[in-house]
């Protein structure tokens, strides 16, 4: 059984303090040894931070690691100076140093935090946590819970395997691990009670693993994507597709039988399906016989609506990586290439986690609407994340996308295209990168400047 991380006490004052440091924790569970991790407040995942929409938050990060770090508040529309990109938006937090992040989250929803320095190792060794922004009025559910899913590559003695940043892997799927944890532990059962409605906030906090979750015997209804409410809908084939960094909030009506167990299955990779956990019903009778009679839809956030008719349009071509046959694709003759680069956007590769002097690829005018066409010309999947904004996914491969889907990370299958639209309303130099960490650090990254 996983120990659920409890919320940091700070919801009253909006002030939190997180120490980043190594620790040793039971990730796999007995009889396996504990795992050496890097984490916040001695826990994996880091404390679940719960704050309220529109109220100021102050989070002090103290760095007790032996290397620099920063924290990125993934998906929050905040001022550029609080975005946590080393060199670009702030100096890195040195060992024994600290940094105070202050912002007022404009949107309610499910967000998360993670380092943006040496991301492969810092995220891959356990540094991540949920950041939940609550609606001013509570949404009627019986329970509101969060599953932060993480993927580890562990040795037989349950230690994090070395080999981060392997070039071959970086040019393919990235570092997909061998152990998936739910809130920091391998979790066989999640206790539930018949009849209850759970708001389940799913966060894919993996370095590279894409997940497709199915709930045996249940029909989860997606109500928010990347924190932003969508029209409530059952996902196609009952499969919740989550690329790295993506979140989906579902409403889950527990209409199964008392005493039974139902598997939650991840079958994203062909032939590598496994069960993540089981919904374990206790023996008590259902608390109600029909699903809770309350609306499923969440109140909308104040995200500006892009004007598609007047929007300025740009194409971002995602390039590089291995082809099916093992040859590098289309990287010959690209500008700005260095030896670590396996990927590019429109012919340019930016590598690493962020540094000073990264030149913007596009300059956007504040207040204008934009449509970015992201065209995946590669043979691999890419969850593309834009900092500082939420965008509306309007088209995929030329067909319009239903259910008003907003996101901050859009998952692009091989050879597919998505159009995303947004108002450039937040000034600064914002990163746009693939959230498969190996892809980001080996070239699939660029900067959009909002002037
Ligand atoms: Cu969660 Cu630069 O990203
Ligand atoms: Cu990618």
> Quick one: which of 212, 280, 204, 291 has its CA closest to 253?
291
What tens digit of pLDDT does each residue of 266-307 get? 999 999 999 999 999 999 999 998 999 999 999 999 999 999
> What's the token pair of residue 387?
């900092």
Q: What is residue 357's predicted lDDT score, i.e. its pLDDT?
A: 85
Nearest 5°: CA angle at 203, between 275 and 18?
Answer: 125
> What's the token pair of residue 105?
């989250």
The answer for residues whose C-beta is within 8 angstroms of residue 173's C-beta and 6 or more apart is 208, 380, 381, 436
> What's the token pair of residue 72?
């990125």
Is beta strand 343-345 parallel, antiparallel or unpaired with respect to 312-320?
antiparallel
Average confidence score pLDDT of the chain: 94
Residue 195 Cα to ligand 1 midpoint, Å, equals 37
- Is the beta carbon of 50 within 6 A of some atom in ligand 1? no
What tens digit of pLDDT does each residue of 140-189 get? 999 999 999 999 999 999 999 999 999 999 999 999 999 999 999 999 99
Strand partners, 407: 391
- Is the beta carbon of 245 within 6 A of some atom in ligand 1? yes
Is pLDDT above 60 for 8? no
Q: What is residue 328's predicted lDDT score, i.e. its pLDDT?
A: 58
Identify the residue whose C-alpha is closest to ligand 1 atom 3: 74
- Is the beta carbon of 439 within 6 A of some atom in ligand 1? no
pTM, two decimal places: 0.95
pLDDT bin (cut points 50, 70, 90) of residue 356 is confident
- Is the beta carbon of 247 within 6 A of some atom in ligand 1? no
pLDDT bin (cut points 50, 70, 90) of residue 337 is very low
């Amino acid at each position: 059984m996983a120990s659920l991380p409890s919320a940091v006490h700070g919801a009253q004052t909006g002030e939190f303090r997180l120490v980043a440091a190594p620790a040793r924790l039971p990730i796999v569970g007995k009889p396996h040894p504990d795992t050496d991790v890097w984490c916040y407040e001695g826990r994996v995942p880091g404390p679940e931070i719960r704050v309220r929409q529109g109220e100021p938050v102050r989070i002090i990060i103290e760095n007790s690691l032996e290397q620099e770090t920063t924290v990125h508040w993934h998906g929050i529309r905040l001022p550029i100076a609080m975005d946590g990109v080393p060199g670009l938006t702030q100096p890195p937090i040195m060992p024994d140093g600290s940094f105070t992040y202050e912002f007022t989250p404009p949107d309610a929803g499910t967000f998360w935090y993670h380092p943006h320095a040496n991301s492969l190792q810092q995220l891959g060794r356990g540094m991540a946590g949920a950041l939940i922004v609550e609606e001013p009025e509570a949404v009627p559910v019986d329970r509101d819970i969060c599953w932060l899913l993480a993927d580890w590559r562990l040795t037989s003695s349950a230690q994090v395997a070395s080999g981060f940043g392997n070039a071959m892997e970086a040019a393919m799927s990235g570092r997909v691990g061998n152990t998936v944890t739910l809130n920091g532990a391998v979790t066989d059962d999640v206790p539930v009670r018949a009849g209850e409605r759970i708001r389940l906030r799913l966060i894919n906090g993996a370095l590279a693993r894409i997940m497709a979750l199915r709930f045996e015997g249940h029909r989860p209804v997606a109500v928010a994507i990347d924190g932003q409410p969508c029209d409530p809908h059952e996902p196609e084939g009952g499969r919740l597709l989550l690329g790295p960094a993506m979140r989906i909030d579902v409403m889950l009506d527990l209409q199964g039988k008392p005493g039974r167990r139902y598997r939650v299955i991840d079958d994203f990779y062909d032939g590598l399906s496994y069960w993540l956990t089981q919904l374990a019903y206790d023996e008590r009778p259902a608390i109600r016989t029909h699903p809770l009679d309350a609306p499923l839809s969440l109140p909308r956030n104040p995200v500006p609506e892009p004007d598609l008719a007047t929007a300025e349009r740009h194409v971002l071509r995602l390039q590089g990586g291995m082809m099916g046959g093992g040859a590098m694709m289309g990287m010959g003759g690209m500008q700005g290439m260095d030896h670590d680069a396996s990927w590019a956007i429109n012919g340019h590769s930016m590598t690493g986690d962020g540094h000073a002097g990264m030149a913007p690829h596009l300059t956007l005018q504040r207040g204008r609407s934009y449509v970015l066409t992201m065209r995946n010309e590669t043979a691999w999947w890419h969850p593309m994340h834009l900092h500082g904004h939420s965008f509306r996914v309007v088209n995929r491969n030329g067909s319009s996308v239903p259910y008003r889907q907003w996101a901050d990370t859009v998952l692009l299958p091989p050879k597919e295209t998505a159009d995303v639209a947004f108002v450039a309303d937040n000034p600064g130099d914002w990163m746009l990168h693939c959230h498969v960490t190996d892809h980001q650090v080996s070239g699939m990254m660029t900067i959009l400047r909002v002037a």
